[in-house]
Structure 1
Amino acid sequence: MSLPIPGEQVRGSKTGKPIMALLDLLGRTWALGIVWQLSKGNATFRQLQQRCEQISPSLLNTRLKELKVLQLVESTPNGYQLTLTGQGLFSVISPLGEWSLQWASQIKKDDV
């Protein structure tokens, strides 16, 4: 699977609209979870693997490479961390966490 680059064909968009490239990336297994976990602070590979519910090392390695190429994550002497761009992304998606709690509560109330 190729890297979702804005301006290039991605899942859902032949023209690679930036939003579609982002949704392609975040829709990949554990991509969003890694961003979410790194929002809590730096983590070594093993720490991040544990935070991500024991994600396989090969999948974690693949996602970290993708997120690094797309300038959302960087390696530091203290492990991996979000870049400024990654922090900006998290500030946009963070409200979804609160919204999802309200949504889940509503679903339980309605006994769907």
Structure 2
Amino acid sequence: MAALDLFGRRWVLRIVWELRDGPLGFRPLQQRCDGMSSSVLQQRLTELQESLLVERDEAGAYRLTRLGVEARDELRGLTRWSERWATALEQDTAAEGGES
């Protein structure tokens, strides 16, 4: 349940997702996260570092650890499912609109 508690915190999934392609510095990561406050980003990054999902590289950028990469890979399945879900919702909405 600890993983669900962590991933259920606001912005955690977004941070992991934004780090999916490689390391990012604090400011670029903040910009990719729609400019979330620096205090919240710092708090979430600290939590992710303590959870061994994120680390800082020698240049000071944040990157996923091996465990973080595994989490990212698992999230891709959720992303595929969410795309199917969005399509189903769109089709249902279109069908309801056509019945009027």
Q: State the TM-score, normalizing by the size of structure 1.
A: 0.79
Matched, 1:83 2:61: no
The CA RMSD measured in Å over matched residues stands at 1.1
Asked which structure has the greater RCO (Cα within 8 Å, sep 6+), the reply is 2
Aligned 1:2-81 pairs, distance under 5 A: 20-78=1-59, 79-81=61-63
1:107 is aligned to 89
Unaligned runs of 5+ in 2: none
How many residue pairs match? The answer is 93
Task: Quote the Cα distance in structure 1 between the aligned partners of 2:21 and 2:33.
Answer: 12
CA-to-aligned-CA distance 1:8-32 (integer Å, 9 cap, x gap): xxxxxxxxxxxx1111100101011
Structure (1/2) with the larger helix percentage: 2
Bigger Rg, which one:
2
Q: State the TM-score, normalizing by the size of structure 2.
A: 0.89
2:75 is aligned to 93
- The one-letter code sitting in structure 1 at the alignment partner of 2:92 is D
Runs of 4+ in 1 over 4 A off after TM superposition: none
Unaligned runs of 5+ in 1: 1-19
Task: Quote the Cα distance in structure 2 between the aligned partners of 1:51 and 1:77.
Answer: 21
